Structure 1
Amino acid sequence: MYFPVLAISAWALLAQNSGTITGTVTDVYGGALGKAAIQATNVATKAVFKAESSATGAYTLAQLPAGTYDLSATVTGMARFEQKNIAVGVAHTVQLNIKVNDFSLNTVGEDRQFFEGLTTRHKTPAGPTPRMANGKPDLSGVWLGTFLQDSGKPELTPSAQAIVNERAANHLKDVPSSRCQPNGITLFGVIFTYRVVQTPDYLVMIAEHDQPPRQIFMDGRSHPKNLDPTWLGHSIGHWEGETLVVDSVGFNGRAWIDLEGHPFTERTHITERYRRPDLGHLEVEFTIDDPSSYVKPWTIKRISDLAPKGEEVAEYVCTENNKDVPHLVGK
């Protein structure tokens, strides 16, 4: 019968030895932003605390052990917000109001509502995993833009951190797709529809976004000894049970890993693992290995929904409507 008293005492002790970060999340015009994902990471212990902003933009991270925190805020269709080294003392409340910039998307000028419409989850058809004649999963189909499941936690080298900092300070204005250049393979199919065509010897991906077609060779060949570096690199695949494993090298280092500005280099080596657990979903894990940029390999996880019957990959010509590049605002 003493348990409730002990529980209350423990909670009170925790509250006395912790602090709070609270505030609002708005756009640059002061409009409230709900459903912002707020994350505070304790610099010393690496413990992670999460919250979500309300419809009025308000958020609170309570019962934070005293210490120093790095805080981030992510809102769909907007640039990521980061603030480092926030000191939280015992019984101390830090007021931190967050202003988030709109993110320039692909053909410059689309707003966050356009982005949100493209990234709304759809009801997918139910059914078992389709299979090839050899019994392997058939990844073929028209797929809606991928959804991020896990952005990973890269540990950056000093040179890579400097690149990320510079790109963030420039409001990500130099993202290659803003100038009709290709995204890297880790962003292939993000936002826009894409088609997968699979045969026993190769797999081809065709994106509605302004990307060259991607070829994955599955005929047993190796990477060429003298690779000509390209945006998408050279990819070879093989099956491990129900998983298609793709090995890619030979990048030119000009693409971005993600929309936070993590860099590719010519030393980047990416391993992808594709799974189709049922009719309506395609899962992929990207493991990025590049000692020149990352202290250790790290993984990004994405998932795509199968498009409704009749959906096709439309023509997309970025240069026909890319009229606002001179107005991109940087540092």
Structure 2
Amino acid sequence: MRAKEWRLGLLGAVAAVTLAACTSTGMQSQASATDIPRTPGGKPDFNGIWQVLSTANNNLESAPAKAAFALVPGDFVPVPAPEVVALGAVGAVPASFGVVEGGSIPYKPAALAQRDSNRENWLSSDPEIKCYMPGVPRATYIPHPFQIFQSDKAFFIAYSFAGAVRNVYLEDPGEPPLDAWMGQSYGYWDGDTFVVEVTGLDDRTWFDRAGNYHTYKLKVTERYTLLSENVIQYEATMEDPDIFERPWTIRMPIYRRLEEGFELPQFKCVEFVEELMYGRYRKGRESELFGE
């Protein structure tokens, strides 16, 4: 009898929690439509400093933790490459839970082989290492904050990493005149969601540290939806017919930085990679240039 009463009590508790969760979700949905901050013109107000808190920059797909990004064959399992072994746990890679809708990026077979080659040669190939501008959508979830400046006539994004910026056109500018690291952005409203179409992206940018990449034909369609005063729902759909079987989408929350007095920090990393990029040109290192 007591066991039966306990089970009924447990079921009742579960039902109550479920009902509360559903009610909370419904209230949150209503709040997202009515209680979000808005501009004087009535549009959702995205002004502020934001940051993604996830491992998406390590790998957009789900992946287990590993000893390093740069690995070489070991006696039993891959081990850190000599260039990074001294980093120990600091150079280890935490697990990625994945942000790709459906779980995996739909590469064509030849493109998947190139992705694997990129991954194997991460240390010499990832543009982030050389402080190149991250491109879109990577600039959103690279582990550095960014700031949105918005008015009824302008939408501008400044990124901490590498001093990257984006001026989002609010009228269709037509085809981009040339490819650029951050591409060309054209934004418009779909209800309360701000949609940005990005084209003209330089094909040297990657999506993450796992070698996921694209060609110059990439088109990214971003969707920014303000769920509450401090949370943006971010989606980006990638189209690149040269290497993907079909369009694919990533989705993640972006959080407002709430520290009192917080300002967008500058991370102009070019000076930090000068030795990596140009150190071999210094006097005394001629042998590295001429193979002597």
TM-score, normalization by structure 1: 0.56
CA deviation string 1:24-54 (max 9, x = no partner)? xxxxxxxxxxxxxxxxxxxxxxxxxxxxxxx
Mark the CA change 1:307 to 1:288 in structure 2 (over 3 Å): closer, same or farther: same
Taking the aligned partners of 1:135 and 1:226, their CA distance within structure 2 comes to 30
Taking the aligned partners of 1:144 and 1:235, their CA distance within structure 2 comes to 20
Taking the aligned partners of 1:226 and 1:188, their CA distance within structure 2 comes to 19
**Contact residue 163 and residue 266 of structure 2 kept, 8 A:** no
> Which letter maps to 1:192?
H
Choose which of 256, 259, 266 in structure 2 pairs with 1:315.
Answer: 266
Choose which of 238, 247, 254 in structure 2 pairs with 1:297.
Answer: 247
**Sequence identity, in percent?**
25
Q: Does 1:141 align with 2:48?
A: yes
Cα deviation, residue 323, structure 1: 5.7
Q: Which residue of 2 aligns with 1:162?
A: 113
RMSD between aligned residues: 2.2
Q: Which residue of 2 aligns with 1:187?
A: 138
Q: Which residue of 2 aligns with 1:280?
A: 230
Structure with the greater relative contact order (CA < 8 A, sep ≥ 6): 1 or 2? Answer: 2
> Which letter maps to 2:147?
R
Q: Does 1:175 align with 2:126?
A: yes
Taking the aligned partners of 1:192 and 1:128, their CA distance within structure 2 comes to 28
Instruction: List alignment gaps of at least 5 residues for structure 2.
Output: 1-33, 57-97, 280-292
Cα deviation, residue 172, structure 1: 4.8
Instruction: List alignment gaps of at least 5 residues for structure 1.
Output: 1-126
> Which letter maps to 1:144?
Q
Taking the aligned partners of 1:157 and 1:172, their CA distance within structure 2 comes to 24
**Contact residue 146 and residue 157 of structure 2 kept, 8 A:** yes
TM-score, normalization by structure 2: 0.63
**Contact residue 158 and residue 165 of structure 2 kept, 8 A:** yes
Secondary structure (helix, strand or coil) at the match of 1:195 reads strand
Flag as ranges the 4+ runs of structure 1 deviating above 4 A: none
Secondary structure (helix, strand or coil) at the match of 1:206 reads strand
Cα deviation, residue 162, structure 1: 2.2
Q: Does 1:150 align with 2:99?
A: yes
Structure with higher strand content:
1
Structure with higher helix content:
2
> Which letter maps to 2:273?
N
